[in-house]
Amino acid sequence: MLSDRALLQALAELKGNPEQAAAVVEKGHCVVLAGPGSGKTKTLTTAMARALIEDIPDPRGVACITYNNDCAIELETRLARLGITPGDRAFIGTVHSFALSQVIGPYARCVPIGLPPDFKVASKSQMKAAVETAYQNSIGSYGNPHDRWKFASEKRLRDVDRTRPEWRGHNPELADFIEAYEVELRRQGLIDFDDMPLIAYRMIKANGWIRNALCARFPVLFVDEYQDLGHALHELVLLLCFGGGIRLFAVGDTDQSIYAFAGANPELLESLTRRPDVRIIRLRFNYRSGAKIIRASLGALGEERDYRGIDGAPDGDLSFWPVPYGHDNQADTIAGTIIPKLVEQGFELGTIAVLYRAAWLGDKVAAALKEAGIPFVRTDTNALVKRSSRLARFVEECARWITGGWRNAEPPYARMLSQALTLVYGRHASEREEQELSAQLMGFLNASLATVETTHVWLQRFSRELVTPWRKIARNSEQEWDVCAEMIANTDPARDLDLPLAHFAGRVEGSGRVNLSTLHSAKGREFDAVIMYGVNASDFPSARDQQTPASLREARRLFYVGVTRPKKHLSLVFQEHHHSPWVFELYQRSQQN
């Protein structure tokens, strides 16, 4: 239940920051430009709570669109403290989830879009086969269809409105390829994830009554990390907010736009800041990092910004680690010297992160940490638990509960049941369905107490006893059941990948697990100490980064994202006499007063 008291407290906490205080009470279109550590999530969640309590009468509500499920989970956790839970008055999810659950699902049967009532989301293998069939039908037998599809996919994400001249005016062969691919999916009653916002956009544009229905239900649209969400979201915003009556509250930072490969374009956020009907508010204070790290971050970015630390905050610390030879030696130095030194200084393992550009570098660090006996958890593409997967998060929470969490309700059983219901039924389940699912879940958890199973064996039983029966009854279109099979494969004892269940659950002796993450996966997160690994001249920038000015700017932004993750300490590890030129700029800025 929404709490007036919690809201008043949240508003009071923002009074010391005039920009945050102004943003949360703004009642027109608003774009909040929020640098690293500037409290943007607190600003966003407080603005949502205030709108629900003061501006929007029940049963109307708000929608909040995020970049991925991990961002959605973080927002849900923050909003829960203000008494807001996802439901009829608050949608929180990705643009794909919004398109599917709020537009396609409710209205697809009412308009002719070529989808059967029982449409499914295509699997990777189905999408691959559809690409090959479409290529044969539209282009011919020469060349590699999947190489060509990379270009087609970029066009599909960029050219959202196909009534505009550029759809066929710019590379009509790719337009034919895309349309043939979508025809093949529809023939099988399928859509893919990129289809979701595209179909929703076309439905809303062609049917004013759908736009009116969305406006009636969600008078305010909140968007988190706007710079990451791409052209489909931007076109939906223009349609709903600047042509449909919904108020926009967007938060973003063009300096942290690092997902061009997924269709992100910082210019889309910048275009909103040039609109006369939008109020722009800049959050200048960095609550995360010390002054020295903030100064260094501007050297990493290579541009001036009006960011400042909080009076009285510690300066923070930087260290530079030139290591002879390449990545293997650097990984050994991290495991054998840097992490032990940080622990000596009082940092707990769970507050330390090692960041790198690609998952294969994570393999090297993981091997070095394993050899040194240092526990770790990965959040890259080779991770056991995918942070953006709700199912993987749920599995890990179950493991935490049975390895001791049941004693102090951490995690609470009610939260796990809510997660299970969402995975199986989406947002709505009957009382009988809830009772039956709860009985299955509790039976599995109780049978797992005091288990001596390894993670691999426990996951196999989880799959048999929960995933298999739930998959048969699921009516949530956003299914990710194959994630459990991936986790089982990633703990294969034949490849020496299995581990104790308590380790998997994060319940190991000592102070937790070192975080291993790619720079992309670390965005939006913060740690007490960050070790940036492989900051070599050939890696920052790489040869690929230097192919175009745009790719070079994005690489620099990626470097900046890494440098702005730590609160107290930043270590940069690189090959001796072969450091990135940006390291030198960072060092120079860090020495300024």
Q: What are 341-369's pLDDT values in tens digits?
A: 999 999 999 899 999 999 999 999 999 99
Per-residue pLDDT, 427: 63
- Confirm or deny that 346 is annotated as ligand binding: no
Instruction: Give the integer Cα–Cα distance in Å for 257 and 200.
Output: 25
- Confirm or deny that 40 is annotated as ligand binding: yes
Instruction: Give the integer Cα–Cα distance in Å for 295 and 536.
Output: 21
b/e per residue, 126-157, with b = 16+ CB within 10 A? bbeebbbbbbeebbeeeeebeebbeebbebbb
Contact assessment for residue 555 and residue 541, using Cβ atoms and an 8 Å cutoff: yes
- Both tokens of 479, joined, read 């299914």
Q: Which residues of the chain have pLDDT under 70?
A: 1-3, 86, 88, 384-388, 427, 476-479, 506-511, 593
- Confirm or deny that 364 is annotated as ligand binding: no
- Confirm or deny that 36 is annotated as ligand binding: yes
Q: Has this prediction a pTM greater than 0.85?
A: no
Instruction: Give the integer Cα–Cα distance in Å for 573 and 328.
Output: 12
CB neighbour list of residue 296: distance below 8 Å, 6 or more residues apart = 318, 563, 570, 586, 587, 589, 590
Instruction: Give the integer Cα–Cα distance in Å for 301 and 286.
Output: 15
Quick one: residue 114, left, alpha or beta (phi over 0 = left, psi -120 to 50 = alpha)? left
Per-residue pLDDT, 396: 86
Instruction: Give the integer Cα–Cα distance in Å for 277 and 280.
Output: 10
- Confirm or deny that 405 is annotated as ligand binding: no
- Identify the bridge partners of residue 376 per DSSP, sorted by sequence position: 514
- Confirm or deny that 41 is annotated as ligand binding: yes
Per-residue pLDDT, 510: 42
How many Cβ atoms sit within 10 Å of the Cβ of residue 57?
A: 8
From the DSSP assignment, how many helices (H) and strands (E) are in the chain? Answer: 28, 14
- Confirm or deny that 16 is annotated as ligand binding: no
Per-residue pLDDT, 508: 47
The whole-angstrom distance between residue 156's C-alpha and the CA centroid of its chain comes to 21
Task: Please give the single-letter amino acid code of residue 484.
Answer: C
Per-residue pLDDT, 509: 41
| Residue 301 to residues 34, 144, 526, 557, 581, Cα–Cα distance (Å) | 15, 38, 18, 6, 12
Instruction: Note the maximum CA span of the chain.
Output: 67
Contact assessment for residue 501 and residue 399, using Cβ atoms and an 8 Å cutoff: yes
Nearest to residue 122, comparing CAs of 202, 201, 193, 196? Answer: 193
Instruction: Give the integer Cα–Cα distance in Å for 245 and 219.
Output: 8
- Confirm or deny that 123 is annotated as ligand binding: no
